[in-house]
Structure 1
């Protein structure tokens, strides 16, 4: 699989765009989250909304869902030779998040005689239920209340026959989230949000290093981090973890 980091920054980033990704799975493009910087990060990366086949939404903070309505609208209001040729947006979501997400979208979409379902196809998954994208298996795991109190949130595991990646989304209380429980012998990368300064809803680098066994460090890919990441380069190097960088393609 090929992974294009559209952005790697936190909610208030000014330089790194929001932590959203495009994953190429053979002929399909999977978008991971749709933050409010998506309209800029997609264009900078050379993509268009219509290039996306499937979207996964991890939770409802604005840096993960703030650009979703615009994407849905732009895909729906497509015209070919003057004829309306709508593209519905397929959204993967955990069953717990389906109703809150529909409610959020309904404020902008459920009007003029249309419903949210006129614009979207929802793939609603239960815990450990498998959704196939090309030759890959997509499963969601529940990290609710480990990012922010009272907030539904979810990570995912994406697997081929030979390997898999684990994507935490946003997590503070790693032990409660049981991320290690998602890792197995075929895991080649763990995409982990990391803050290099104290943060009430994101794990710090030290918390990440304390949680994971040292043999996992080389599989860790830090994301959703501070804009001044370069100030922590020595610490990063000594920890033997990887840093995901905006626009730098990863292959697994």
Structure 2
């Protein structure tokens, strides 16, 4: 059995030369997306993966760089792939706002019977902090993390051994006590704001305060176009780049 995670993009929301941060998980010939930003369909095309080859999409939160590609995915599945639906995995808190607050404007089409998100996707609701097997060999646990106050946002544990932050403020207690001490995660994929004050993302300066033995497990993602200026300045942490593949134990 094999489990791979391939970064479809590693850029921040404002990056212009990098694709939106999202990932493709491959588990036993099944493909699952973690988020689907505006550039995700283009990145999938770059690696010759078509929408009908995606078994499901996990949504961490509803910022456009994480869900902006859902409309294209839905319409292509509808019109190019004979009304095929893919699964959309999310918590009830995300489900309550995704259609009304984001997708409805472009996708609402009552004359053809498309009145809600369930007309485009098979909705699978996930309970927070409860491990759920998505496909054989691939289990996720969504945990609530702080990104934008009063808006639901989640990080992921993958097979209890990999932590994928999505977007979150720096949380030393979570990283040290939960990710390392309690779960002993061998791999950490963490968003990284390279400069400035960390209002809604962990900054490089904050992540550099972590002990080196933790830094060694961290792959940095969701960074800006100026990343090239920071090569060699990330301590024991490394930048993961677009289309890089990590092999993960199951």
User: TM-score with structure 1 length normalisation?
Assistant: 0.88
The answer to whether the 8 Å contact 1:94/1:154 transfers is no
Cα distance in 1 between the residues matched to 2:138 and 2:45: 27
3-state SS, counterpart of residue 235 of structure 1: coil
Residue 238 (structure 2) aligns with: 242
The answer to whether the 8 Å contact 2:170/2:207 transfers is no
Residue of 93, 96, 115 corresponding to 1:96: 93
Say if 1:8 and 1:148 are closer, same or farther in 2 by CA, change over 3 A: same
Cα distance in 2 between the residues matched to 1:110 and 1:17: 27
The answer to whether the 8 Å contact 1:147/1:173 transfers is no
1:108: Cα distance to partner? 2.8
Q: Which has the higher contact order (CA 8 A, sep 6+)?
A: 2
The answer to whether the 8 Å contact 1:155/1:168 transfers is yes
Instruction: Please tell me whether residue 120 in structure 1 is matched to residue 121 in structure 2.
Output: yes
Residue 200 (structure 2) aligns with: 201
Q: For structure 1, which runs of at least 5 residues remain unmatched after alignment?
A: 80-84
Cα distance in 1 between the residues matched to 2:67 and 2:152: 13
Instruction: Please tell me whether residue 51 in structure 1 is matched to residue 53 in structure 2.
Output: yes
1:156: Cα distance to partner? 0.8
Residue 215 (structure 1) aligns with: 213
The answer to whether the 8 Å contact 2:147/2:167 transfers is yes
Q: How does 1:218-237 map to 2 (within 5 A)?
A: 218-236=216-234
3-state SS, counterpart of residue 172 of structure 1: coil
1:68-97 per-residue CA deviation (whole Å, 9 max, x = no partner) reads 111011112235xxxxx3211211112211
Cα distance in 2 between the residues matched to 1:188 and 1:76: 39
3-state SS, counterpart of residue 73 of structure 1: helix
3-state SS, counterpart of residue 234 of structure 1: coil
Residue 129 (structure 1) aligns with: 130
Cα distance in 1 between the residues matched to 2:95 and 2:218: 30
1:105-159 per-residue CA deviation (whole Å, 9 max, x = no partner) reads 233333222232121111111222232121222110001xx21233221111110
Report the RMSD for the aligned CA atoms in angstroms: 1.8
1:241: Cα distance to partner? 0.9
Instruction: Please tell me whether residue 192 in structure 1 is matched to residue 194 in structure 2.
Output: no
Residue 153 (structure 2) aligns with: 153
Q: For structure 2, which runs of at least 5 residues remain unmatched after alignment?
A: none
* Count of residue correspondences: 238
User: TM-score with structure 2 length normalisation?
Assistant: 0.88
1:174: Cα distance to partner? 1.8
Cα distance in 2 between the residues matched to 1:40 and 1:91: 19
1:42-90 per-residue CA deviation (whole Å, 9 max, x = no partner) reads 21222211121110111111100111111011112235xxxxx321121
